[in-house]
Amino acid sequence: MKILIFVVYAVIFTYCYYFLNKRISNKWILIGYPIFFCVSMLPIKLIYNAIVPNTGKVIAKEYLLIMLFAVTMITLFNFFYGVVNLMLNTQASFQQSYGMPEKAHVKWFLNNIGNIKGLYHLFFYSGGIILYGVVISQAKI
């Protein structure tokens, strides 16, 4: 059961991180994911209330924690996807406007902005996958 939950999380997280985020603007990433987090609390509570009579409070609490961690991690790591884009785009536009783009280190940064973003995105993506794997392995279901 834990493996199935982890695979479902990994598929949803990968879709949001690598496919959905590339299709929406950075502004909507930074606004939309916190809204998603707030809106998803009521359905999670309703699911918890629906499974308590069938499974008992102890097991239902574990499922509640797993759902809350999943929504929190999807929100947090995708929000930082937007933060990374915002920081690097702001720094690149500043360097192009006011910096000295002919200097070697600035020129290297401007030429490799996509690679730098990709490395940061890979770092946060792997963190989101590994951290949820730890949460699932510690769950008592």
Euclidean distance between CA atoms 96 and 87, whole angstroms:
14
The helix, strand and coil proportions of the chain, stated in percent and rounded to the nearest 5, come to 90, 0, 10
The helix (H) or strand (E) run that includes residue 108 is: helix 104-111
Please give the Cα distance from 17 to 37 (Å, whole number).
15
pTM for the structure as a whole: 0.87
How does DSSP classify residue 99? S
Per-residue pLDDT 10s for the chain (141 aa) are: 889 999 999 999 999 999 999 999 999 999 999 999 999 999 999 999 999 999 999 999 999 999 999 999 999 999 999 999 999 999 999 998 888 888 888 899 999 999 999 999 999 999 999 999 999 999 887
Q: Domain ranges for the chain, please list them.
A: 2-138
In angstroms, the CA 95 to CA 59 distance is 54
> Distance between terminal CA atoms of the chain?
8
